[in-house]
A = this chain, B = another copy of it.
Amino acid sequence: MRSSNYLLATLKETPSDAEIVSHQLMMRAGMVRKVASGLYTWTPTGLRVLRNVERIVREEMEAAGAIETLMPMVQPADLWQESGRWQDYGPELLRLQDRNQRDFVLGPTHEEVISELVRKEVSSYKQLPLNLFQIQTKFRDEIRPRFGVMRSREFIMKDAYSFHIDEASLEQTYQVMFKAYQTIFSRLGLDFRPVIADTGSIGGNLSHEFHVLAESGEDAIAFSDSSDYAANVELAEAIASKDNADPATATMEEVETPNAKTIQALVEQFGLAIEKTAKTLIVHGANENGEASGLIALMVRGDHELNDIKASKLPQVASPLTFASDDEIRAAVGAGPGSLGPVGLPLPMVVDREVAVMSDFAAGSNKDGSHYLNINWGRDVELPAVADLRNVKAGDPSPCGKGTLDIKRGIEVGHIFQLGTKYSDMMKVGVLTESGKHQNLLMGCYGIGVSRIVAAAIEQNNDANGIIWPEAMAPFEVCILPMNMHKSARVQEVAERLYEECKGAGLNVLFDDRKERPGVMFADIELIGIPHVIVVGERNLDEGMIELKNRRSGDKEKVAIADVVQQLTATNNR
């Protein structure tokens, strides 16, 4: 491709509405353009990257035995009514009517359509297992589309749906997909982690997210430093640092704390270690029928964070988790929220596992302006119910039993689920088994955010000059950058010759034949992130050489004109 026949569309200025680096660089490198909020045109450079991602995803899905289909974006409401999602799905589901006032949706996923297909086309256990995928345009009417294609409304997803006669078959395909995802993200050249994910809202037994690691990631992920264990921080199990509390060493003592409304103030007033303090949070409780009923106290160590998801899963706690107001607390306890603690608290209480092994710790006295120091369980107050209530922290022991946890940020680019029979029960997707009985199928579903991967890769691979593409994703593998070509017939001749050679060798090459100053051309090509740049200039030509520059390392080397294409085809990771 010659720049002069192409739409480079690079920008010098960063658009003001681009908040994160991938969005900024995708705009500046001419990869996407905004059409409306959350709606983008993929301009040529962006589309070339997107197609590379699609190709690798498709190849690995096929290699894993999945079969490609293509379902419509516009889906009839009746299927969604059947699955129950017409009612359950919020305003992210864009609903529309056709000219005959029939209801449709723009598909955010395709469980209903694929279930409809399979219940009609598959009648016997002999046709199973079956794993069908598509790479297709989806729509979610996000309340706040942002970060460019990272959270857009129209986007491209690979979604796959597998169907099984039993758990063992589902488990087997799930493992095949798990491995295929690892291969896909490895081939794309991304630093990623599979992470244990919540199955709560969708149901089913098992779910993993695949995260591209990047500082800007929306999710915090906890990893063991000594095993494969990785989980979203919100889901990672927090383990107590020891099996039992140390023995008490001091008498409980009430102290005046008129100005200590926070843990930090308490720590400062008495020179305490924060690990020797505990905080008490009052939330709405639930009765045995799950109905909201009274208040309940939750307690975590002073330096720990309550984990809302874990707390809301406790049977004694109302879901979703809601905190009691100051007035509610005062009415129930007789003191404000800054002076609460376990001793003399007239409310049921659940303490975090770590709190249960604390000794000689400080907490409120349930009287305004006063705390107790050196509280010990058993001696001063009975140990209440114990549960995992907190977010893990870096340095915590890993719940897998090996090593300690580290925490990094990630961008979710894939998600695999064992759905079980959720959809097949609602939509009656079944077959005749070997013994002739009708049985609803088990389902798995497997998503990859194809367009999001492009942004996530940039979050992980960039520097001050622009994007640094992993080779497999790059819009062009090589750029030929002739310096002042319009002034030098020799530069032009060598550049043209190398361009033909690159094409002949099957390299995906951009020939920057614009009449621009070399500085402008270098800036654009670095911004776009092409991995290899062949710089053709008068000075090196005197020695029969060009300069080969590596975008990632910044290394420059002189290479004989006759050798450069061979060197590139030998080294690049296609």
Contact = CB atoms under 8 A, between A and B. Distances in A.
B7 A72 contact: no
A133 to B, nearest CB: 10
Given A76-B35, A154-B74, A69 B42 contact: yes
A113 B35 contact: yes
Interface in A32-50: 33, 35-36, 39-44, 47-48, 50
Given A36-B76, A73-B137, A43 B117 contact: yes
A39 B117 contact: no
Interface stretch (A93-101, A215-223, A367-375, A488-496): A93-101
A153 interface: yes
A106 B48 CA distance: 24
Contacts of A72: 35, 39-41, 154
A501 interface: no
A207 interface: no
A364 to B, nearest CB: 44
Given A50-B70, A72-B35, A154-B72, A121 B9 contact: yes
Contact of A70 (B7, B41, B102, B120): B41
Contacts of A91: 99
A5 B117 CA distance: 17
A214 interface: no
Interface string A47-87: 11010000000000000010111111111100100000000
A96 to B, nearest CB: 4
A534 interface: no
B132 A7 contact: yes
A171 interface: no
A182 to B, nearest CB: 22
A270 interface: no
A39 B70 CA distance: 11
Interface string A5-41: 1110100000000000000000000100101100111
Contacts of A117: 33, 41, 43
Interface string A494-519: 00000000000000000000000000
Nearest to A145: B98
A141 interface: yes
Interface string A127-163: 1001010000101010100000000011000000000
Nearest to A2: B65
B44 A74 contact: no
Contacts of A5: 65, 67
A30 B79 CA distance: 21
Nearest to A93: B99
Given A47-B68, A96-B96, A76 B39 contact: yes
Interface of A: 5-7, 9, 30, 33, 35-36, 39-44, 47-48, 50, 65, 67-76, 79, 91-92, 94, 96, 98-99, 102, 104, 106, 113, 116-117, 120-122, 127, 130, 132, 137, 139, 141, 143, 153-154
Contact of A35 (B47, B102, B116): B116
Which 9 A/B pairs are nearest by Cβ-Cβ distance?
A: A36-B76, A96-B96, A42-B70, A39-B72, A91-B99, A41-B71, A72-B154, A44-B67, A99-B141
A69 B98 contact: no
Given A72-B154, A154-B72, A33 B130 contact: no
A27 to B, nearest CB: 12
Contacts of A35: 71-72, 75-76, 79, 113, 116
A113 B154 contact: no
A514 B67 CA distance: 17
Contact of A47 (B70, B122, B130, B143): B70
Contacts of A122: 7
Given A41-B71, A42-B70, 11 more contacts: A35-B71, A39-B76, A41-B72, A41-B117, A44-B67, A72-B154, A74-B139, A91-B99, A92-B99, A98-B153, A99-B141
A106 B74 contact: yes
A99 B143 contact: yes
A498 B233 CA distance: 52
A121 B76 contact: no
A39 B98 CA distance: 12
A93 to B, nearest CB: 9
Determine which residue in A7, A40, A41, A50 has the highest number of CB atoms from chain B within 10 A of its CB, and name it: A41
Contacts of A143: 99
Contacts of A48: 68
Nearest to A155: B72
15 contacts: A7-B69, A7-B127, A7-B132, A35-B75, A35-B76, A35-B116, A39-B76, A41-B71, A42-B70, A43-B121, A44-B68, A73-B73, A73-B154, A74-B139, A74-B154
A120 B27 CA distance: 13
Nearest to A40: B72
Contact of A41 (B65, B69, B137): B69
Nearest to A41: B71
